[in-house]
Amino acid sequence: MSARRLAIRQPDDVSLSPEAQAGILTWTKKYPEGRQRSALIPALWIAQKDAGGWLPEMILRAVGDMLGMAYIRVYEVATFYTMFNLSPVGDYHIQLCGTTPCWLRGSEALKEVLERRVGPQNTVSADGKFSWLEVECLGACANAPMMQVSTDVDDDPYYEDLTPEALEAILDAFADGRDPARGPQNDRINSAPEGGPKTLNSKDLYSATQTLKTLPKADKKAKVNHYEWDPKERRATRGGWVDPKRKASPDPKKRSGNLGRDLTKGLVEEDPYKGRPERSDPQVLYTEGATDGAPDDLKKIKGIGPVFERELNEKGIYYYRQIGAWKVADIKMLEADVLTRFPGRIKRDDWVKQAKRLAKEAAK
């Protein structure tokens, strides 16, 4: 933002009106004692409206005195925000948005109109009616290009979806003392898409004669799988869904894939590991806490630290030979049971290959 300074020519005698002072006091009462400076921005806005659309230096000092602030702090705020005018403005002060959305939609052409009709920025037209300034985003990007017009009254309306022709018409209306239509200058409704309503526009949409049509095949009862509605009839295992009404597996060694435990209370309907490589004997993968001599130092395997070693020991994995015998299915089950935080860690660090090498070295 370019430097903004107070106007060189200042009025000799200007002060806040009683109405403006009362409005500022209303705002200061909204804050705790000693925090009146929090009302600075609304106070400056009230003072600007009261002073004819701009802020002379004497008004800035008066606001600072009311809020108990150093004058420089008031100047800092007034010179930062473009909503505060530091030099005289016309009866209709135009703030034209020049940020990217408005620029892409033709704000440069609007600037040419204002320069021709009003003059350069920060100057007042010969008749005293108009002044203008290019500002940053005013928050109506969906309706770009747009401008805001400030007058001596409280409201500062937006004029959106502008074209050079629409801007010319608005300026003509202001010059004649008329109030041009506000908001979008095309057939848009607020920020809705251009072209008017496209959906829900049937003439009889809300007619009382509208009745709900019968859905196709609504009279036919759908076949319901009672398992989906009565969980007591079916139980889930890691190996699949088990139906207790069916006979148990004739083979007591039938495995469900549930980490090597026997399934004797039902028959697995689907084998979740069908087509996968056979895994090793479950007793190699998990040994239920039993040990055979001193456990191996699993931390010698890259990727296994004290935490992983403890978790593996809790699952009965103590030896290099156990890890070296793992198959693809074993690794998937182990990652789902123990190493849930680091999927793919075993394959990435090649634990199996490392374990086989360490097991051979330990056997020598």
Cα separation, 57 vs 29, in Å, equals 25
The amino acid sitting at 180 is P
**pLDDT band of 282, cuts 50, 70, 90:** very low
Q: Which tokens belong to 299?
A: 């931390």
Distances (CA, A) of 260 to 218, 276, 289: 48, 15, 14
Residues, the chain, total? 364
Judge whether 161 and 185 are in contact, CB under 8 Å.
yes
Q: Is the pLDDT of residue 222 over 80?
A: no
In tens, the pLDDT along 39-87 reads 999 999 999 988 888 899 999 999 999 999 999 999 999 999 888 988 8
Q: Residues 243-268: what's their mean pLDDT?
A: 47
Upstream peptide bond of 120 is cis (omega within 30 degrees of 0): no
Cα separation, 232 vs 216, in Å, equals 33
Q: Which tokens belong to 346?
A: 């075993």
Start-to-end CA span in the chain (Å): 78
The residues spanned by each domain of the chain are 18-80, 92-184, 282-363
**Which one is predicted more confidently, 67 or 214?**
67
- Please give the torsion angle defined by the CA atoms of residues 155, 161, 165 and 169, in that order, rounded to the nearest 10 degrees: -20
Looking at residue 19, what is its pLDDT? 93
User: What are the beta bridge partners of residue 96?
Assistant: 134, 147
Instruction: Please provide the average confidence, as pLDDT, over all residues in the chain.
Output: 78
**Which one is predicted more confidently, 235 or 70?**
70
Task: State pTM to two decimals.
Answer: 0.50
Q: Is the pLDDT of residue 264 over 70?
A: no
Q: Residues 258-284: what's their mean pLDDT?
A: 46
Looking at residue 331, what is its pLDDT? 81
Q: Is the pLDDT of residue 183 over 80?
A: yes
- The CATH T-level fold of domain 92-184 is Glutaredoxin (3.40.30)
